[in-house]
């Protein structure tokens, strides 16, 4: 039993009437959820940013949902059938679904959402799903048919509200969807609708009375308070100002000991699953194009300290480019031999021609990240100072970060939580395949271009043989580790907590509050 699991056993308040409540959950009430960043807008089909999905996931639906085990269950699609050759998948859509503005939801919306939005602007859908899809047909309003170029084993797990949120054709067709004002006036099919938005303060959602799932949602309001600092979030929770904490460190879990609190551990969340905090090098920068400089970063940064001091043991030091949660594809221990060695880092920087100045500084690099990641860059700043590298920290909200890193390329280093998903086709391909180079947010930030990596990922994505796929992915990881376009810091696990006045939140899902209800 993990430390968090033992603490959970102490924290969970056992209510005598819980069984009765679970049978007939009452409707009504509001829940306040603390989130670490401002969403910037409310269109999760054009970005994979975690703060955006944490809020917007409750406004939309996918064709399927994923349960706690990561298995697909019906959402906008009430059923599906896969042809024997695996190349045709037919979805029957749920009945009586309407958009928040009252317009009917149809198969035309699904076709539009994939072909015109997700395959162009959602980094994981564009890189991992689009290459496998030959065509999407909408033969009638209640049927969608995916015609695949090849069997695609990750398909169903790429169709939930996180990986493939369905947006309305009648709102977005013919617009510049990235710049559209409609992104701040979201029209979804989800359990909640937008009521108000105060930038960097709060987002208020209200119950969708016409939601297509009977009896859901049960809460009247869902209020997201934007609180970047984790300690401040916990203080607000203890003061009764916040009901739900989306992320809780083990140390903060201990602060909640003895209180009526439910804590749930998960490796997935609204932004994705199997997430790895990753340092991206801009390979277009001359200094960082030198492999020796990137190797020096890897030798200077103490990832064990990050695990202990930043995430408080809630995860693992990254041991390969593919997260260990995808065990069949993970190259076990590939990065374990790269340990802290300040002398080696200094030699590498000397060889690369980065000499120390009179102030002892060899070079200064900009590092960009979300405000919630400040403790990572502070620790790395201390580590890198020992080898004469200075960091200029720039903290940006998701929209500004995406523009700076993926459109303007105005960065040296970027700190990104790259979520791998449950298959490398979902969240890893977009990081390293050359076809993912472009302006799509949270795609190939480093600008990796390597024919061998491309070939191995294409080979792995072209078969359903898991053993063959695993061999190809492990070979690809060895090549990626040689080139070192990124430095993988830590795999991050999550704990979420909520006041026991509430029940049935789903922090592993994009729709965290669809089934939640207030006990008293």
Contact 186, 42 (CB under 8 A): yes
Tell me which of 172, 199, 226 is where a domain ends. Answer: 172
Give the whole-angstrom CA distance, residue 239 versus residue 302: 36
Q: Note the pLDDT of residue 1.
A: 41
Contact 252, 234 (CB under 8 A): yes
Q: Quick one: CA torsion of 384, 385, 391, 395, rounded to 10 degrees? A: 80
369 & 298 share domain: yes
317 & 442 share domain: yes
Q: Which residue reads 């102490």 in tokens?
A: 10
Give the whole-angstrom CA distance, residue 329 versus residue 320: 10
Dihedral angle sign, alpha carbons of residues 189, 190, 194, 198: negative
CATH of the domain at 166: 3.90.76.10
For strands 72-74 and 77-82, give the pairing.
Answer: unpaired
Q: Note the pLDDT of residue 20.
A: 34
If we measure between CA atoms, which residue out of 493, 229, 236 comes closest to residue 373?
229
391 & 307 share domain: yes
- Evaluate whether residue 42 is within a structural domain: no
Contact 108, 170 (CB under 8 A): no
CATH of the domain at 360: 3.10.105.10
Give the whole-angstrom CA distance, residue 146 versus residue 132: 10
Instruction: Count the neighbouring beta carbons within 10 Å of the beta carbon of residue 71.
Output: 12
Contact 188, 510 (CB under 8 A): no
Provide the 8-state DSSP code for 435: G
Tell me which of 172, 207, 226 is where a domain ends. Answer: 172
Give the whole-angstrom CA distance, residue 404 versus residue 441: 10
Contact 276, 439 (CB under 8 A): no
> What is the DSSP track for 88-103?
EEEEEEPSS-B-TTSP
260 & 300 share domain: no
341 & 480 share domain: yes
* 464 φ/ψ angles, rounded to the nearest 5 degrees: -100, 0
Q: What is the mean pLDDT of each run of 10 residues along the chain (520 residues)?
A: 40 35 76 95 94 96 94 97 96 98 98 98 93 97 97 93 97 96 97 97 98 97 95 94 91 86 89 92 98 98 96 94 97 96 98 96 97 95 98 94 96 96 93 94 96 96 93 98 98 93 94 93
Alpha helices for 403-465 (secondary structure H)? 424-427, 429-432, 451-461
Give the whole-angstrom CA distance, residue 28 versus residue 67: 24
**Helices vs. strands in the chain: H and E counts, helices first:** 19, 23
303 & 208 share domain: no
Give the whole-angstrom CA distance, residue 148 versus residue 468: 20
- Evaluate whether residue 50 is within a structural domain: no
349 & 465 share domain: yes
477 & 449 share domain: yes
Alpha helices for 123-176 (secondary structure H)? 123-124, 169-172
Tell me which of 137, 172, 207 is where a domain ends. Answer: 172
Contact 384, 337 (CB under 8 A): no
Residue 17 in 3-state DSSP? coil
If we measure between CA atoms, which residue out of 121, 125, 118, 102 comes closest to residue 187?
102
- Evaluate whether residue 44 is within a structural domain: no
218 & 107 share domain: no
Whether the ω angle into residue 193 lies within 30 degrees of 0, i.e. cis, is no
Q: In what helix (H) or strand (E) does residue 378 lie, and over which residues does it extend?
A: helix 374-385
364: tokens are: 């200064």
Q: Residue 460's domain spans which residues?
A: 272-492
Q: Note the pLDDT of residue 2.
A: 43
Q: In what helix (H) or strand (E) does residue 400 lie, and over which residues does it extend?
A: helix 398-402
- Evaluate whether residue 344 is within a structural domain: yes
E strands of 68-176, at which residues? 72-74, 77-82, 88-93, 133-140, 143-148
Dihedral angle sign, alpha carbons of residues 520, 211, 181, 135: positive
Q: Note the pLDDT of residue 251.
A: 83
* Strand-pair partners of 366: 392
Burial profile 413-444: b = 16 or more Cβ within 10 angstroms, e = fewer: bbbbbbbbbbbbbbbbbbbbbebbeeebbbbb
- Evaluate whether residue 472 is within a structural domain: yes
390 & 464 share domain: yes
* 148 φ/ψ angles, rounded to the nearest 5 degrees: -100, 150
> What is the DSSP track for 255-316?
HTTTSSEEEEEESEETTEESEEEEEEE-TTSHHHHSHHHHHHHHHHS-HHHIIIIISTTSEE
- Evaluate whether residue 68 is within a structural domain: yes
Dihedral angle sign, alpha carbons of residues 500, 504, 507, 511: negative
83 & 166 share domain: yes
10 & 108 share domain: no
Using alpha carbons only, give the angle 430, 428, 439 rounded to the nearest 5 degrees: 20
Give the whole-angstrom CA distance, residue 495 versus residue 513: 16
Burial profile 32-53: b = 16 or more Cβ within 10 angstroms, e = fewer: bbbbbbbbbbbbbbbbbbbbbb
* Strand-pair partners of 269: 272
- Evaluate whether residue 179 is within a structural domain: no
pTM: 0.83
Count of structural domains, the chain? 3
Give the whole-angstrom CA distance, residue 420 versus residue 428: 5
- Evaluate whether residue 178 is within a structural domain: no
């Amino acid at each position: 039993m993990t430390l968090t699991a033992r603490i959970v056993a102490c924290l969970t308040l056992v209510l005598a009437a819980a069984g009765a409540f679970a049978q007939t959950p009452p409707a009504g009430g509001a829940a306040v959820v603390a989130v670490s960043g401002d969403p910037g807008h409310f269109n999760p089909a054009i970005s994979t940013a975690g703060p955006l999905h944490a809020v917007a996931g409750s406004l939309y639906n996918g064709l399927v949902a994923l349960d706690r085990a990561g298995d697909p269950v019906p959402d906008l699609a009430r059923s599906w059938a896969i042809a024997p050759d695996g190349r045709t998948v037919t979805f029957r859509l749920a009945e009586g679904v309407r958009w928040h503005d009252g317009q009917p939801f149809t198969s035309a919306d699904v076709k539009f959402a994939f072909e015109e939005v997700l395959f162009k602007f959602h980094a994981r859908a564009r890189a991992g799903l689009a290459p496998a899809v030959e065509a999407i047909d909408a033969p009638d309003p209640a049927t969608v048919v995916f015609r695949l170029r090849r069997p695609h084993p990750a398909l169903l797990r790429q169709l939930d509200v996180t990986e493939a949120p369905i947006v309305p054709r009648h709102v977005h067709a013919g617009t510049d969807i990235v710049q559209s004002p409609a992104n701040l006036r979201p029209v979804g099919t989800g359990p909640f609708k937008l009521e108000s938005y105060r930038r960097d303060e709060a987002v208020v959602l209200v119950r969708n009375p016409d939601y297509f799932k009977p009896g859901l949602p049960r809460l009247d309001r869902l209020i997201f308070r934007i609180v970047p600092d984790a300690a401040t979030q916990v203080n607000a929770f203890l003061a009764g100002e916040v009901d739900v904490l989306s992320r809780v460190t083990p140390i903060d879990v201990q602060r909640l000991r003895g209180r009526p609190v439910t804590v749930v551990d998960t490796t997935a969340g609204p932004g994705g699953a199997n997430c790895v905090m990753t340092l991206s090098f801009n390979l277009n920068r001359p200094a960082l194009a030198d492999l020796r400089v990137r190797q020096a970063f890897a030798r200077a940064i103490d990832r064990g300290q990050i695990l202990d001091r930043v995430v408080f043991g809630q995860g693992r030091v990254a041991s390969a480019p593919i997260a260990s949660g995808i065990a069949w594809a993970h190259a076990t221990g590939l990065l374990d031999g790269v340990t802290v060695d300040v002398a080696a880092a200094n030699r590498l920087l000397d060889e690369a021609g980065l000499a120390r100045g009179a102030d002892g500084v060899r070079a200064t690099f900009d590092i960009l990240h979300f405000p919630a990641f400040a403790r990572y860059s502070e620790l790395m700043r201390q580590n890198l100072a020992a080898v004469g590298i200075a960091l200029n920290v720039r903290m940006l909200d998701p929209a500004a970060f995406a523009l700076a890193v993926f459109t303007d390329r105005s960065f040296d280093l970027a700190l990104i939580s790259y979520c791998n998903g449950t298959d490398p086709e979902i969240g890893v391909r977009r990081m390293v395949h050359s076809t993912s180079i472009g302006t799509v947010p949270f795609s190939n930030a480093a600008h990796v271009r390597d024919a061998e990596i491309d070939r191995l990922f294409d080979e792995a994505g072209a078969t359903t043989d898991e053993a063959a796929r695993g061999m190809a992915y492990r070979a690809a990881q060895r090549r990626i580790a040689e080139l070192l376009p990124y430095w993988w810091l830590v795999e991050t696990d999550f704990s979420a907590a909520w006041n026991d006045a509430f029940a049935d939140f789903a922090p592993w899902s994009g729709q965290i509050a669809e089934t939640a209800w207030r006990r008293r």
